[in-house]
Amino acid sequence: MTNPLTDPRLANNRSLLAAICCAAVCGIVFGLSMPLVSLRLEMMTSSGLIVGLNGAAAAVSTLVMAPIVPRLLSLVPGRVLIVISLILAGALHALFPVFESVPAWFVLRFVMGCFMTVVFVVSETWINQIATPLRRATILGIYGTVLSGGFGIGAFLFGQLGTGGNAGFYAGGLIFLIGAIPIILLQGPAAQAPGKDEASPRAIWGAASLAPAAIGAALAFGALETVLFSLAPVYGDRLALTDGGISLIAMAAAAGALTFQIPLGWIADRTDRRDALKWIATIAAVTPLAIWAVGDFLPGMMMLFFIQAGVASGLYTVGLALVGERFSGGAIAAANAAFIFAYGTGSLIGPPASGTAMDVVGPHGLMIVMSVIAAIYAALVWKRAS
């Protein structure tokens, strides 16, 4: 009887599972910590501006850290880098109730975001390097689905633990520590370190110019995802939906993100990934206009939010698979850093643009901005395909 922890025939699968576990851990902590930190800050300050700026600190940490990760990966083995980052992120998460002041929470949110960026860049680079080309988008679809599922589990944990005590902070820290276990135990091929030239900032920016369709997918997805999940409740409120109705459209969007990623990855693996991105972006540009058209008709909104969130999630899955197709070996680390940097940029600029549009033209300004973001990216990929 073979031992799945030592059988050399399962080595690739062990490494893939270890990397995908990173998505589960980060997703769970995201789902738990985002509402926990935001609501505790609201209680501490009664300032929506402070809450929003603290959330932006996580996006800024992505922009700062992503270009540095390839150099770190060239100096420290990938597994070691992930384990160190998970342990330190866990310690920081548990420190929030110890330093209960607004400046300290900005520092903690930023530094913890830096370590989480390391985990994302290294784990996604790892998957792209060892996934077989014919199954790459499907495997990344599984990765994305696990990340979305983890977010839902984290939100459930938040509902159970609440904001009244500090259990949520300690639970998040413990989850990070537990996440290091599969990285240590599931031994297999390691993430390939980039060479000196492949880890330079020039290589990272060069990756964006060599693969604009792939990197642009991350930028568009970062904006669309952040806008959808942060402002959809405001959109529903301004259309005079009940709290129950707002919850239903949020649940529909989350279900779409869970449902679509593996099928879209499977389709992209069996067709052409650039063609898949063309149609994904086109649908993501049209669906917000359909949401606008149905107004406050809740069943129609639920169906269309399900489609929009699900289809848009394919931008990340298929775009990341295109990175693995376009680059190889250590060069994937620089390309993945550019991908994560683009995602962080989109997540930083999307919400302010959408919020401003909602204030200027009404609630449907959200749908206009989402449609424009997807349409600009669709135009890019259709033009490059012509």
User: What CATH number does the domain containing 138 carry?
Assistant: 1.20.1250.20
Among 193, 213, 231, identify where a domain stops: 193
Task: Give the gyration radius of the chain's Cα atoms.
Answer: 20
Same domain, 367 and 251: yes
What pLDDT score does 47 carry? 64
Distance CA 340, CA 143 (A): 15
Between CA 138 and CA 158 the distance in angstroms is 30
Which distant-in-sequence residues (6+ apart) come within 8 Å of 204 by Cβ? 66, 67, 70, 334, 335, 337, 338, 341
The verdict on 93 and 184 lying in the same domain is yes
Q: Are residues 18 and 95 in the same domain?
A: yes
Contact (Cβ atoms closer than 8 angstroms) between residue 62 and residue 113: yes
Q: What are the structure tokens assigned to 109, written together? A: 């949110």
Residue 358 phi/psi, 5° resolution?
-65, -35
Residues 117 and 189 in one domain: yes
- Please give the pLDDT value at position 303: 96
Quote the CA–CA distance of 22 and 121 in Å, as a whole number.
Answer: 11
pTM for the whole structure: 0.87
Domain limit, last residue, from 172, 193, 214: 193
Q: Please state at what angle helix 11-45 crosses helix 102-130, rounded to 10 degrees.
A: 160
* Domain match, 200 and 163 both: no
- In terms of Cβ atoms closer than 10 Å to its own Cβ (0-12, 13-18, 19+), residue 272 is exposed
Single out the residue in 134, 165, 193 at which a domain terminates. 193
Range of the domain at 225: 196-386
pLDDT of residue 149: 87
CA atoms of 318 and 168, how far apart (whole Å): 34
Our count of domains for the chain comes to 2
The answer on 238 and 291 residing in a single domain is: yes
Per-residue pLDDT tens digits for 66-120: 889 998 988 899 899 999 999 999 999 999 999 888 889 889 999 999 999 999 9
> Which ranges of 186-242 would DSSP assign to H, the alpha helix?
201-210, 212-238
Structure tokens at 241: 């939906």
Q: What is the pLDDT along the chain (386 residues), one digit of tens a residue?
A: 567 766 677 788 888 999 999 888 998 998 888 778 877 887 788 665 677 677 778 888 888 998 899 989 888 998 999 999 999 999 999 999 998 888 898 899 999 999 999 999 899 889 988 888 888 899 999 998 998 888 888 878 887 887 778 888 999 999 999 999 999 988 888 888 887 777 777 888 888 788 888 999 999 999 898 888 777 877 888 888 887 888 788 888 888 988 999 999 999 999 888 899 999 999 999 999 999 999 889 999 999 999 999 999 999 999 999 998 888 888 888 888 899 899 989 988 888 888 888 888 888 988 999 999 999 999 999 887 65
Specify whether 251 is located in the same domain as 376.
Answer: yes
Residues 1 and 82 in one domain: yes
